[in-house]
Amino acid sequence: MLRRIGTTGLLAIALTACAGGGGAAGATGSRAAPSTPSTGTTAPQSPPQAEVGPVERALARMDVEEKVGQLFMPVLYGTAADTVSGENQARYGAQTPAKVIAKYHLGGVILFPHNIKAVGQVVSLTNGMQRAAKGVPLLIGTDQENGLVSRMSALMTDFPGAAELGATKQPERARAVAEATGEELRALGVNLDFAPVADVNVNPNNPVIGRRAYGDDPARVSKMVAAAVKGFAQAKVAATAKHFPGHGDTDVDSHTGLPVIKHTRAQWERIDAPPFEAAIGAGVDAVMSAHIVFPKLDPSGDPATLSKPILTGLLRQKLGFKGVISTDALNMAGVRKKYDDGEIAVRAVLAGADLLLMPNDLPRAYRAVLAAVKSGRISKQRLDQSVTRLLTLKRDNGFLSEAPVADADKAARVLRSAEHRRLAARATR
């Protein structure tokens, strides 16, 4: 998303020019200073001042509880912001989505089919959730990859999935489909898509990626992923490349087990890394971690989601990614083998994650991260880094200073429009 600053959307702090020069030559129109003996030294300069923008202002207004809340994106229950749900009460200690958002100062919410009935209803839901978020608008996300994983398929155009687009060898088609998908999501009030899949599916027995990937050729996948990122950018919907460092060569589903990738470092650099590098080069907003063990990248036995050598060492430092790192869902078995739900959240932040997606026990995870910040285990500087990245993503997609408001009539015109249906029909032709 190339309206982001740099390649990935991390805030660049502009420095203002110093007022008053202090040089030997006087400025035009000013009186000359009295002459003094030369000492061969330069007069001291005032330090440059960092520009205060919307990200800095939003960060400065938050207390530590609100900052911790920004890291979390749970799934909530109900088809309206004020829907009373026993599921919400049991999981979060609050009955409605609006009350859960307020209680935990949430930075985001993810939608699933149980939240979706009709176009007008989803627009009302997303608008109502945004009103419940006091101070900072919400990231409202979903998994709309198209094809096999399409959470909004009941309402949206049936676009072809990644494998079908990859087979065309035409990146422009991936870009066009991503842009149209983004337009439909934005019309519903969804501003973050957990797509595109950047995995290279080199294992035909892969039970979790398969046709969700653009193919088994790193070069082709890279071109498709970069094009999709640019398409989402055009629609002003944040894109997420997943699942880092690469979930393409596994025969275990990380929803139910803990996969081990046996690639060497050289294989990773040749096969798995290029699509993520391409996504970063295209300005992707976020990268999602994988719940996979990759011994040649980190011998600790921890999944990548909890691995500082992988998330910070490789993704941040080697690949230069400066945007938001999102975990995959923290209720999946692949990340819950060794630690409890509170420790998982803390370790994900320490590893380098910014967005904690779908914790299995939100109250426990929230309390654990808050306690870790207060004890100093997670430094306040580290917390501010993650919150700044999240606020920057919101700013760069146009909804930090003011919450987006979806319009039901516009959504009805955009979703499954004749233009989008024609695109879906010709995209794989």
Is 158 within 8 Å of 219 (Cβ atoms)?
no
- CB environment 286-309: b (16+ within 10 A), e (fewer): bbbbbbbbbeebbeeebbbbbbbb
Please return the burial class of 349, using the count of CB atoms within 10 Å of its CB with bins 0-12, 13-18 and 19+: buried
Report yes or no on 298 lying in a domain: yes
pLDDT band at 48 (very low <50, low <70, confident <90, very high): low
Report yes or no on 197 lying in a domain: yes
Return the closest-CA partner of residue 290 out of 277, 266, 306, 273: 306
User: What is the per-residue pLDDT for 370?
Assistant: 98
Report yes or no on 12 lying in a domain: no
Q: What is the pLDDT of residues 269-280, one digit of tens each?
A: 999 999 999 999
Report yes or no on 364 lying in a domain: yes
Look-up: residue for tokens 């055009």?
Answer: 234
Report yes or no on 104 lying in a domain: yes
User: What is the per-residue pLDDT for 134?
Assistant: 86
Q: What is the pLDDT of residues 281-297, one digit of tens each?
A: 999 999 999 999 999 99
Q: What is the pLDDT of residues 323-378, one digit of tens each?
A: 999 999 999 988 998 999 999 999 999 999 999 999 999 999 999 999 999 999 99
Domains: count for the chain: 1
User: What is the per-residue pLDDT for 14?
Assistant: 35
Report yes or no on 363 lying in a domain: yes
Mean pLDDT over 260-270 rounds to: 95
User: What is the per-residue pLDDT for 253?
Assistant: 72
Report yes or no on 376 lying in a domain: yes
Q: Please give the single-letter amino acid code of residue 308.
A: K
User: What is the per-residue pLDDT for 45?
Assistant: 58
CA-to-CA distance for 123 and 106, rounded, in angstroms?
A: 19
Mean pLDDT over 383-407 rounds to: 96
Residue 27 has pLDDT above 60, yes or no: no
Look-up: residue for tokens 């990200």?
Answer: 55
Q: Residue 15 in 3-state DSSP? A: strand
CA-to-CA distance for 288 and 126, rounded, in angstroms?
A: 23
Q: What is the pLDDT of residues 69-89, one digit of tens each?
A: 999 999 999 999 999 999 999
User: What is the per-residue pLDDT for 50?
Assistant: 59
Annotated catalytic residue, options 82, 253, 255, 384: 255
Mean pLDDT over 217-241 rounds to: 98
Q: What is the CATH number of the domain that holds 337?
A: 3.20.20.300
Look-up: residue for tokens 């399409």?
Answer: 150
Q: Residue 390 in 3-state DSSP? A: helix
Tell me, yes or no, if 255 is annotated catalytic. yes
DSSP string, 130-150: HHHS-SSPPEEEE-EEETTEE
User: What is the per-residue pLDDT for 174?
Assistant: 98
Domain that holds residue 420: 54-426
Report yes or no on 122 lying in a domain: yes
In 200-256, alpha helices (H): 218-234
Annotated catalytic residue, options 199, 298, 328, 354: 328
